[in-house]
Amino acid sequence: MGLRAKLAFAVLSVVVLAVTAYGFTTIRHEERVLQRETEGRAVALLRAFAIPCGVAMANNDTPTLDNYVVKLSEAATSLDLRYMAVLDFQGRVVSHTRQGEFGKVYDDPFTRTALAAESPQTRTLVEGSEPVLEAAVPVVSGLRWGTIRASFSLSNVEEAIAARRTRVFVFALVMMSIPGLIAFLTLHRLVVRPIEKMQGMAERVSRGELAARVAIRSGDEVGQLAEQLNAMAQRIEDYTASLEKRVEERTHELAAANSQLVEANQQLERLAKTDPLTGLYNRRQFMEQLDFEIRRGARNPHQFALILLDVDHFKSYNDTHGHSAGDELLQRMAALLSLNLRGTDVIARYGGEEFVVLLLDTGADEGYATANKLQQVVEAQPFPREETQPGGKLTISVGVSFYPHDSRDGRKLIDYADRALYKSKERGRNTVTRWADVRES
């Protein structure tokens, strides 16, 4: 193969590689953009629908919920909605765009993941020969009421991507062919022809024509090639050093930014778990811990006590001395409870003047004794302005339930402790009541 053929083959290879790389990169980018846009529109649609859906589920208004589902399915034709289902906590269908689905329980991995997740979930798959996007968002209206799951056809998206792929490759081929032809002609003139002349001279010399010479008008450029290459190498070295310095500086900047981001995320995590007034766990974090202990109990048998306590006549204290004094009282109460509990125990502000405690790995007798200890410690502790309270002392009422003796269900344990707490209120406050005492009475 001659030099001219090699040059043509090299230029053609570069053009093909450039077209392929450009087309592949562009198509992959557009595929990702279309995928994100489709997922974003689907999630945004379901999030917007989750607001009225949550209200309807909170009010147990099934006709209104069905009406919302019908209207949304009619409005979502531009997104190629295949179906949409509203599920309760167990994955049971409470409303569906298709008839005959009501009451069914979805128990596939995607549904289980969506039911447990606090954020939207998406996945793409192929059903039959049709690509589809499945999305699920939580239904939240104050509390988590369920999950919306929907399926969207990606056929139109795939068709759009195929059309764009053809256009991109045709455009790239045309645009790359012109520079390729120009590069070939230029290289032929500047490189191939002078080399052919020098080759002819060499052949003449080899035949004994020692006086043979070659006339190359651009011979000065060829003669200065080494110098130019040296200059180019120097420029590349200088540019590489400058680039490494900039990369190092940017690396330090990114490391500092990442450190700040980690610190900010840790701060956000702490804020998400704690009550801003008392510094204790908030109700949400307590419920997660309770659910964890219930699941742990299903795997490895253990026991714990759940204590729910309430500051007696707190409204009277708050109304008499103001909200600032009430906040200070709650802070003192939180510190006192924390001081008299173990480091392994979980204590949280349940709401208002209510606190809740998990005494981990604690039996019924020990848990009841600890509850009495907390009631007695609070009664004995002097609090500012407590003389204005009924009886001249600031006290608490306490309700206690035990796992697994009273129940293996976390929500029932809270309900039992709450009912025992109200029994303490009925008994005159400043006392401790177990759920077993309430049940037997």
**Are 305 and 374 spatial neighbours (Cβ–Cβ below 8 Å)?**
no
Which residues touch 288 (CB under 8 Å, ≥6 apart)?
none
Q: Tell me if residue 353 is catalytic.
A: yes
Cα–Cα distance measured from residue 235 to residue 296, given in angstroms and rounded to the nearest whole number: 65
- Spatial separation of the C-alpha atoms in residues 350 and 370, rounded to whole Å: 19
Residue-wise DSSP of 164-196: HHHHHHHHHHHHHHHHHHHHHHHHIIIIIHHHH
Cβ-based neighbours of 74, under 8 Å, separated by 6 or more: none
- The C-alpha torsion from 376 through 380 and 384 to 390, rounded to 10°, is 70
Of 181, 124, 150, nearest to 47 (Cα)?
150
Beta-sheet pairing, 130-141 with 121-127: antiparallel
In the block, which residue shows the tokens 């392994």?
344
339 token code pair = 């001081």
pLDDT of residue 426: 94
β-strand pairing of 432-434 with 354-360 = unpaired
Record the pTM: 0.44
Q: Which of 101, 196, 221, 353 is catalytic?
A: 353
**E-strand stretches of 65-120:** 81-87, 93-96
User: With a cut of 70, which residues of the chain have pLDDT below it?
Assistant: 1-9, 11, 15-16, 18-19, 22-23, 75-79, 169, 172, 175-176, 184, 187-199, 201-202, 205, 209-244, 262-271
Could you give the strand order of the β-sheet that contains 121-127, starting from the edge strand earlier in sequence? 93-96, 81-87, 143-153, 130-141, 121-127
User: Are 357 and 309 within 8 A, CB to CB?
Assistant: yes
The tens digit of pLDDT for each residue in 83-123 reads 888 888 888 988 888 888 888 899 889 889 988 888 899 99
Q: What is the pLDDT of residues 352-409, one digit of tens each?
A: 999 999 999 999 999 999 999 999 999 999 999 999 999 899 999 999 999 999 999 9
Query: 225-245 burial by CB neighbour count: b if 16+ within 10 A, else e?
Result: eeeeeeeeeeeeeeeeeeeee
